[in-house]
Structure 1
């Protein structure tokens, strides 16, 4: 029987993050989203020479929703270690997504966290252009990931110290860890999953697949997607998280670059659909 030892230097940033994130108190919610409007918009864009990832629609919607729910655009700052540490909740003015990407760093497959800032005002094209920047095979060499490469080279003790120092500076959080985390595995046969990304809210996307739904009493096929929301119970409570998920659900099901809030009127697909709504990356970016 033989074994192979693997150098985990390229994964040290993930190790340090998971050690820190173990302090979170995650609670998991999910919902099924009818992506008919998103898919129609996506197809129309392709006809005009534009290509939009599904994750870009979620980022667009998340920016607007969290701008309306600032209490969920937040993080628990741990403060300095010791008996006198005073954790505090830090809320952010702008919305910056931390998007999980599956990339190779020095030949080793790993997860990189790419930041997409200004989501509260960015349009779909601006968001997609930012995502496209991270698509290439050489994405890991971009300046944005200099810190990740550095953590892999530092001795473990210094790496942990550097990571912890970044966490203790709340004003630096959006530029290092974002204000909301987003992850997608929908480019594979994954219907749904949950993760905790270190922010008050983490959003997860599964694949879009045709399923049977009921509209006005008739069973019809519709492109459905499982949308997961993990929230840190230390920062927000379930009612707030449910409001955020409901708002996201509404924005995606009625997608328009200018979508109103959930109380803006009935859905054109019928009263049953409206009641149901109100009750309730290729390689990482599909």
Structure 2
């Protein structure tokens, strides 16, 4: 056996996993017929535009969470818990990056995805995907955490994440993580937000339509929710609405933002 101290590059992940121990996660999943997305994606590619599957999920989830303000929220505290319902929808997206030769997970937050167009979402994803995590300003706080001794890094992380008012900027109001680039059909993850979406691979599978068997591009989509904030019925509505929006992507109903509900949602407290 060769035991060694935890690599500094992995310390931020350790602090994050310690933070989410208070979560009460429950897991749902469904299959999404991605025929409409594949059609839309092919048309975009023919026009010289690349759109990732994650950009479709982020775009659709932003609209869905805007229509479900109870799920676009976060909780904090044990003795006097507070719930913040946020006035905008921000999506956290995770990336597989290499830092100092070590493979780590890093994330960025895309703001206002309930009103952002898909091209802008894709540009932001590609900017972080292709950037150097050792120089990008988005990861300056992560680099600072790595340099601190573990006890101080743990305290700094807890202090930075504590206030509800900072949550949308730091961890988003929902999270998306994908392993669909590999042979992974489905998985579940807790991303530090009330709703976390897990994206599996899209592959052609037999399905039944109108009593006949046909082949369609199917994608496994999971949803983990924090049971302290919402219940299963609300989470099931979110997942079903997201499935519908993806399966109808490109239609008039699916293209319209559903953000009007947020106008009546109070801003997060600054506690």
Corresponding residue for 2:264?
none
2:199 counterpart (195, 202, 205): 205
What does the per-residue CA deviation read over 1:161-197, in whole Å, with 9 as the maximum and x for residues that have no partner? 1111122211111111111011000000000000111
Corresponding residue for 2:19?
20
Q: What is the TM-score with the length of structure 2 in the denominator?
A: 0.90
Report the Cα distance in structure 2 between the residues aligned to 1:189 and 1:223, rounded to whole angstroms.
15
Corresponding residue for 1:64?
63
Report whether the alignment pairs 1:148 with 2:142: yes
CA distance 1:259–1:97, change in 2 (3 Å): same
CA distance 1:260–1:55, change in 2 (3 Å): closer
Report whether the alignment pairs 1:181 with 2:205: no
Report the Cα distance in structure 2 between the residues aligned to 1:52 and 1:260, rounded to whole angstroms.
17
Report the Cα distance in structure 2 between the residues aligned to 1:118 and 1:96, rounded to whole angstroms.
5
Report the Cα distance in structure 2 between the residues aligned to 1:180 and 1:29, rounded to whole angstroms.
15
Corresponding residue for 1:116?
110
Corresponding residue for 1:231?
225
CA distance 1:60–1:257, change in 2 (3 Å): farther
Corresponding residue for 2:122?
128
Report the Cα distance in structure 2 between the residues aligned to 1:120 and 1:37, rounded to whole angstroms.
20
1:44-123 alignment to 2 at 5 Å?
Answer: 44-78=43-77, 85-123=79-117
1:258-273 alignment to 2 at 5 Å?
Answer: 258-260=252-254
Aligned pair count reads 255
Matched-pair contact (CA < 8 Å) for 1:183–1:205: yes
State the Cα distance separating 1:106 from its structure 2 match. 2.2
State the Cα distance separating 1:5 from its structure 2 match. 2.6
Matched-pair contact (CA < 8 Å) for 1:180–1:199: yes
Report the Cα distance in structure 1 between the residues aligned to 2:40 and 2:133, rounded to whole angstroms.
28
Larger relative contact order, structure 1 or 2 (CA cutoff 8 Å, min sep 6): 2
Report whether the alignment pairs 1:164 with 2:158: yes
Matched-pair contact (CA < 8 Å) for 1:103–1:140: no
Report the Cα distance in structure 2 between the residues aligned to 1:152 and 1:125, rounded to whole angstroms.
33
CA distance 1:108–1:258, change in 2 (3 Å): farther
**SS of residue matched to 1:22:** helix
Report the Cα distance in structure 1 between the residues aligned to 2:112 and 2:60, rounded to whole angstroms.
12
Report the Cα distance in structure 2 between the residues aligned to 1:128 and 1:260, rounded to whole angstroms.
18
What does the per-residue CA deviation read over 1:115-173, in whole Å, with 9 as the maximum and x for residues that have no partner? 11111100110100100101215244310011111111111121111111122211111
State the Cα distance separating 1:259 from its structure 2 match. 3.0
Matched-pair contact (CA < 8 Å) for 1:133–1:139: no
Report the Cα distance in structure 2 between the residues aligned to 1:146 and 1:56, rounded to whole angstroms.
24
Q: What is the TM-score with the length of structure 1 in the denominator?
A: 0.86
Matched-pair contact (CA < 8 Å) for 1:78–1:167: no
Corresponding residue for 1:217?
211
Report the Cα distance in structure 2 between the residues aligned to 1:61 and 1:140, rounded to whole angstroms.
31
State the Cα distance separating 1:4 from its structure 2 match. 5.6
**SS of residue matched to 2:239:** helix
Report the Cα distance in structure 1 between the residues aligned to 2:120 and 2:253, rounded to whole angstroms.
17
Report the Cα distance in structure 1 between the residues aligned to 2:50 and 2:239, rounded to whole angstroms.
26
